[in-house]
Structure 1
Amino acid sequence: MNQPLTSLLLVGVLTAATPVAHAQKASPETAAVQQTVTAFFDGMRRGDSTMVRRTLAPGAVFHGFGGKPGQPPKLEIESINGFLKAVGTPHAEVWDERVQFEHTLVDANLASVWAPYEFYLGSKFSHCGYDSFQLVKLADGWKIAHIIDTRRKEKCK
């Protein structure tokens, strides 16, 4: 191969690889935001409502968006205290929500996480959708201020 062509190919390969390498390295703030979301789900899997509560900002709000097949979707406000009680009440199957961090955006003390998920009761698939988290950075770190999600049983990954 001639020298100019080899150099051009090398530059092309290095240029193409740079965004991939950059995308794989999360900033410390992005990692801290994702760790808060991970701790939320780790607490849920363990049935540890105290662990889950520690990830929440005062006044946090939960919404669910979905509906039954054949009916229009509806927005539902979920009780945080009811959710925490349900998490902490012993149940036969582990509540295992498996999220992937598709997009995490951070600006100063505000963050947004967009995460597709699959939810399992023990090893049995239940439903899937997307979680959207809004987090705020308080004196004691990143806390979840709002969660909204979609829920469906079809068209999952």
Structure 2
Amino acid sequence: MKLLLLLLLPLLAPTFAARAQTTTPPPSTETAAVQATIRAFFDGMRRADSAAVGATLAPGAIFHTITNGPGPPAVHPESPAAFLRAVGTPHQEVWDERIRFEQVLIDANLASVWTPYEFYRGTTFSHCGYNSFQLVKLAAGWRIAHVIDTRRKDKCK
């Protein structure tokens, strides 16, 4: 029996080694496309290019923010049109929202994306929080249909 085990061990060793080596698979084509849409949104914001930002939005897109000011937390709608005007209005400092993709979930033509962020005006830290994006896949590709975010100045990752 020991002899049989010794003879089989060299044959089984590569199987165990292969299982021990795990790699993170590259993102799917759809995941990459969803991430590219969100990156284009923030790249346009950094360039103060409201047309580029607007091209990432679905018709009827909705923006919300959750505030934690004095009093209980509240949900506030924000106007996408006003946001686009603000992005395109000349300002001295670059609006730089630095995100990380923590989770991208996709089913058919719907994607949900979770991104922690830190926002800087130029090199000055402004606030941080999390974005939750809902995207839809339209004929023109993935577009942002809804963004809701949290905002705070402390307890940033």
User: What TM-score, normalized to structure 1?
Assistant: 0.89
Once residues 121 and 34 of structure 2 are traced to their aligned partners in structure 1, the CA distance between those partners, rounded to angstroms, is 26
Matches within 5 A, 1:73-92: 73-92=73-92
- Aligned partner of 1:132 in structure 2 is 132
Aligned length: 151
Partner AA of 1:96 in structure 2: D
AA in 2 matched with 1:45: R
Letter in 1 for 2:86: A
Q: 1:6 to 1:124 in 2, by over 3 A?
A: farther
Which one has a bigger Cα radius of gyration? 2
Distance in 2, Cα, partners of 1:63 & 1:16: 44
Q: What 5-or-longer segments of structure 2 have no aligned partner?
A: 1-5
* CA shift for structure 1 position 67: 2.2
RMSD over equivalenced CA pairs, Å? 1.8
Matches within 5 A, 1:54-93: 54-68=55-69, 70-93=70-93
Structure 2 counterpart SS, 1:87: helix
Q: Deviations over 1:62-87 (max 9, x none)?
A: 0001222x531110000111100000
Gaps of 5+ in 1: none
Percentage of identical aligned residues? 61
TM-score (norm 2): 0.89
